[in-house]
Structure 1
Amino acid sequence: MLKPPHLLTLKAVVHTGSFALAARDLGYTASAISQQISALEKDTGLVLFEREAHGIRATAAARHLVDLSTRVLTALDDLDHQVRELATGTTGRLALGSFPTAGVRLVPSALSAFASTHPRARIQLEEGEPDELLSALSEGELDVALVYEYGLSPRQWPESLAQYPLLREDLVLLRAVGSGIGAELPGLAGQRWITSREGTAGALSLTRLCAAAGFAAQVAFRSNNYDVVRELVGTGLGVAVVPALGHEPGDRIDAVRLNRPSAHRTVMALHRRENSNPLLGAMLRTLRAAVPGDQPYLHPAASAQRPVAGAASGSGSSESDI
């Protein structure tokens, strides 16, 4: 098989008409150039140069071989350029998974910023609950997964994954404007509550919050969609506790942060420790930079990255990040 370096050497010698000048241009010795040409002649069975007393003369076969190899060498040069871009993260592909609420409030701005700095990169976005995303992440279908855990319902993540904290959300109490309902949990024992499906982390967190306040919540409605929860609250059908990403300020809803221990939710990005995707670091930094720093109830994470250990648990649903 012909060796590309030998073809490049041939092109240089034909162009300069001299082993010495080709050696200077390529950074070789004249002896190395001569050896490469001899090896190419042996590989092709062609006489490429006529040796004369005062120099060399390229044969017709040499010139024709240069013409034939130009397209191949150009393609190889393009391949080398593309590989370098892939290695540096200029191009490439990254698969990102997100739970629904972050997909609405965090991911769009992050992807917009990432596209401006990596216009040739291809990003694939998948949506799902943490357990669904963990499975895809572990199997290599995702490079990054956005997940969450409640302070009152902590999780353990697989030891093979590294954690990149993004933000902490306060849990906020939602009440209809003008309802006259108080803002302290102990005084809400007789209220109707709106929360997520039984067994979700949000519902479990509410149960534990109310128990710590001395009562059991009387759940009137359940929905795994924050838009539905807010509409039910806004029409005066009950009160709800949601993480900050699930709250959209509006004229019909009054929101107040719960001043209770562990009344928060943490959002983080997980990735496989051994993942060598060149785009990974840039995506993690872009996700963190996309966290709003001027909105109430949202607290961007510190810059330190820390590993996590343990085993995954829990179940997912269509919108059970609440």
Structure 2
Amino acid sequence: MAAKRLDESATGVFIIAATPFTENGAVDYDSIDSLTDFYIRSGVHGFTLLGMMGEAHKLSGEESLAVVRRVIARAGDRQVIVGTSHAGIDNLRRLSHEVMSAGAAGVMVAPTPGLKGDDGLYGYYAQVFAALGPDVPVVFQDYPQATSVFLPVPVFGRLVDDFPQLVMLKHEDCPGLGKVTRVREDEKRPGRRRVSILVGNGGLYYVQELRRGADGAMTGFAWPEMLVQVHALFASGKAEEAEDLYDLYLPLVRHEQQPGMGLALRKEVLRRRGAIRSARQRAPGSSLGATDLAELDNLIRRLERRLAAAGRSSPLAAE
């Protein structure tokens, strides 16, 4: 069954999917299947493909579409968002329409680097929305650490007012807790739509962002079941229990967020959990040394002990 189009009601965990490669650097389509199944067993509500942590910039156009089609074919009724950011709007439009035709629920677009001022940012997205047309739901990817483009809340409000196809904010500004609060306060103005907010940064500020009004997470932490369970507890009014659970995983959340090696750690954990066959990244990419692997071993053992003491199952138990 095809998933419905993305809209402002989106909530839960949209996992940023890794892209598996074989040891010789080819796309590992069998591991895409097993990884998709792993994410589904973990309870994710949707998928985000071709994100910055999905090594999208290392894929050819043909490979990108093949990955999208492979996941959509296996994802069932779970919505799939596809990152289509590109320096050229024509290329962005082409890829967006191709993935929507393949069954994607919406696309995610980051501002192109180098935009100047509020008018420059607004004008860029106005061009994007005009190119995509009114029927393509869009996620604004707010990740100034990578784009060097800051999104002021009033500009985001103008875009929400003027372009109904803007249905979600992917929030990764840092520090950015105050921005979540300001967006939610700004939405109280008469006539202003409330859009979905999903948060990233590896889940590093997940609990606080949920407390401030976020609707869930869009990130790729290698224990996605934690993200799902924390969201479910929050949704049922058990915020303290949710934070207690999150705290058990916090050392690994923090460890995975190391610049330059976070993806290597994430892929190694996914390999150990049987989700993919190889932790390889397509060149250029980072790798883990013996000391890195020993540190990871220790952190996982410590997590297993904490989970056991809390009466929860081991994260490396058979899925």
Which structure carries more helix by proportion?
2
- TM-score, structure 2 normalization: 0.21
Q: Which has the larger radius of gyration?
A: 1
Kindly indicate whether structure 1 or structure 2 has the higher relative contact order, using CA contacts under 8 Å at least 6 residues apart: 1
- TM-score, structure 1 normalization: 0.21
